[in-house]
Amino acid sequence: SHSHKVSVFSASKPLRQRWPRMGSATSTPIATDRRNGKKEKIVVVMGATGTGKSKLSIDLATRFGGEIINSDKMQVYKGLDITTNKIPPHERRGVPHHLLGELDSEDGELTPEEFRQLGESIIPDITSRKKLPLIVGGSNSLVHALVVEKFDPESNVFDGSGLVSSELRYNCCFLWVDVSFMVLSEYLSKRVGDMLDMGMFEELAEFFDRPGESENTSPRTGLGKAIGVPEFERYFKRYPSPVADPVRKSAYEEAVRKIKDNTCQLAKQQIGKIVKLRGAGWDLRRMDATEAFIAVMTSAEGRSEIWEKQVLEPSVKIVKAFLEE
Ligand code: ATP
């Protein structure tokens, strides 16, 4: 028989009811979290958008036998795979991913409290199979909600209405992939171009073409907040069908410029949140990937070696020592 966990919010429905189309097993009882009273070991890969967290986590997962729990609040939903930068299946190298493209945005927005509950049942599920849980994604509010000993859903630690606690309910190994903001913002602007080449525009066109979309005036929730959707909203409202129009091109360029700006803004905010967590006493191990990024952008010889030397190798060392503790 299944034990269904109920959301601690009296107002909200049990997770299973909130996310009826969710696939994975999320009903492990809390009690199994703490076998022998020992905290479970998890690796948390942090970093701003675009810094190579996914790539690093696949390398670590293949080396240490890991499974990934996605902590990007936009990538938890089905859809907009290019726009939200989900790691494509062929790059996952067989590593199991949890909470990646599993939820239906229409079922409502995933709260940090719900992420905490989902995570606390997925983690013991992974460790019961003798695998290492790796939490990977840029949403620091989700990471925070998952790992702190006591979580207060009413307060937001990043807007000042709450304090970041250093009391954690897991034995965490935090890896922070950092890239100097100047280099990262140049890379991110370039990446938007790559994403458009990969079909981001077509993906958004389809998203805006959904039934009822044109009448939809309610504030966007869930996937509707992904960078790319609000920026292209005006464009698709104005140009729902492909007709030739001289001002169309400038509206497109305007949307692309906004996406670039907002992506850099996001990166800056994410870095600020990471710095705050570190300041609160979280033992974040920082890896500087700046040189590797410069090498990639200039297509320099030996760029993958730079990444390996400066990011992968130190990370492997840290995780190895952590697991031997
Ligand atoms: P906040 O409290 O501001 O929501 P957070 O830490 O919970 O912060 P972030 O991951 O920093 O969440 O995301 C903030 C916003 O950035 C999202 O609401 C979304 O607009 C945008 N965003 C984040 N991740 C992505 C993504 N993968 N693709 C597109 N947009 C994203």
pLDDT, tens only, 190-218: 999 999 999 999 999 999 988 777 677 67
Ligand 1 binding pocket, CB closer than 6 Å: 72-75, 84-85, 138-141, 225-227, 266, 269-270
Count of domains observed in the chain: 2
pLDDT, tens only, 125-149: 999 999 999 999 999 999 999 999 9
* Span of 25-29, 68-72, 113-117, 161-165 with lowest mean pLDDT: 25-29
Ligand 1: which residue has its CA nearest to atom 12? 139
d(CA 15, CA 115): 10
Strand order in 171-178's β-sheet? 97-98, 66-70, 132-136, 41-46, 171-178, 284-288
Q: Are residues 154 and 238 in the same domain?
A: no
Give the pairing of strands 171-178 and 97-98. unpaired
How many A from CA of 59 to the centre of ligand 1?
25
Domain that includes residue 193, residue range: 185-263
Q: Which of 263, 293, 310 is the last residue of a domain?
A: 263
pLDDT, tens only, 261-295: 999 999 999 999 999 999 999 999 999 999 999 99
Q: Are residues 26 and 46 in the same domain?
A: yes
Q: ipTM exceeding 0.90? A: yes
**pLDDT value of residue 16:** 63
Answer whether residue 291 is part of any domain: yes
Q: With contact defined as beta carbons under 8 Å apart, do 142 and 114 qualify?
A: no
The CATH number assigned to the domain holding 213 equals 1.10.287.890
